[in-house]
Amino acid sequence: MFNGKNVLIAGGTGFVGINLINRLLSLGANVRATIHRKGPVIVDKRIEYVSADLLCMEDCRKVVTDMDLVFMCAANTSGAAVIAATPLVHVTPNIIMNAQLLEAAYAAKVGKFVFLSSNAAYPPSDDRYVQEEEMFDADPYDIYFGVAWMKRYTEILCRMYSQKLKSTMPAIVVRPSNIYGPYDDFDPATSHVMAATIRKVIERQNPLKVWGTGEDIRDLIYIDDFIDAMVLATEKIDTYDPVNIGLGKGYSIKQLLRLLLEMEECTDLKVEYDTGKPSMIPIRLIDVSKAERQLGFKAQTDVTEGMRKTIEWYKSNL
């Protein structure tokens, strides 16, 4: 599907965007990628980098011109502290970027648009494995209210472009669990829990401080597996038909930290849990049976192998 196609990756310097660039080049795509505040990370003459501010409609129109496929990987993202302190930081700019790029892609007659939603947008589900049709059953967790409804609203736009217009544009929605791996954001101010914890262990921070109780449970998917699933979803889905992408198994932060400490042979580090710091969703498990049934996708990388690969990459590159 990708060989010889013109493919736009919006957000070419972000975690998912960087890894997606590498994969699409290997599949023979003609890759165009947007850059904004950061310079290119993957340097390859086969990539056409375009400087663009996706808050500007004119830039959105410019980058989608002549594209067959568009992957919307650009977003304002950050960790728990930023979301708790400034909940609107993820709302307005992301809604504008998502809406404008969708509209520009539609006007340019793009063949297919792929949007990265989030498992954080689901309503509270306790220890159940949440299924795709539950997304709009109730409000999301309060701590994620703004960013979750931003994702939900963009999904509604994807549904409209896919199903509610006279001439439609397939808009594919994938809902990943917590993605981790090479090129993740390891900045302490903005990183998510897995990247933040890996950095603390590698740096031998002592005491090693963990936000919250350590009992929060997450499904984690290694970046290579997620890119596999996104490629399959693009190939096999032709309308708004959201699909969960994850490992299908949950781990507590304490379990993950124990694995990391053992892996790095530094179990003597003192671990302190700071319950005064914001944690996010206490437990989130996603049902991944639809991805296996519809895409033939099953994650191949378990958490131990994924953490080992991520640590090796971190030590070699950062």
Sign of CA dihedral 169, 173, 179, 181: negative
Q: Cβ(89)–Cβ(82) under 8 Å?
A: yes
Of the given ranges (73-77, 78-82, 184-188, 309-313), which has the lowest mean pLDDT?
78-82
Residue where the block lists tokens 């996603």 = 286
Predicted confidence (pLDDT) per residue in 49-96, tens digit:
999 999 999 999 999 999 999 999 999 876 666 676 777 878 999 999
pTM of the model: 0.95
Closest to 242 in 3D by CA, of 134, 137, 126 = 134
The C-alpha atoms of residue 254 and residue 207 are separated, in whole angstroms, by 15
String of b and e for 292-301 (b: at least 16 CB within 10 Å)?
eeebebebeb
Predicted confidence (pLDDT) per residue in 9-38, tens digit:
999 999 999 999 999 999 999 999 999 999
Alpha helices in 75-178 (DSSP H): 80-85, 92-107, 145-159
The model's confidence at residue 192, banded by pLDDT at 50, 70 and 90, is confident
Predicted confidence (pLDDT) per residue in 96-129, tens digit:
999 999 999 999 999 999 999 999 999 999 999 9
The C-alpha atoms of residue 39 and residue 72 are separated, in whole angstroms, by 18
At the second CATH level, the architecture of 6-180+220-246+285-293 is 3-Layer(aba) Sandwich (3.40)
The model's confidence at residue 253, banded by pLDDT at 50, 70 and 90, is very high
Ranges of each domain in the chain? 6-180+220-246+285-293
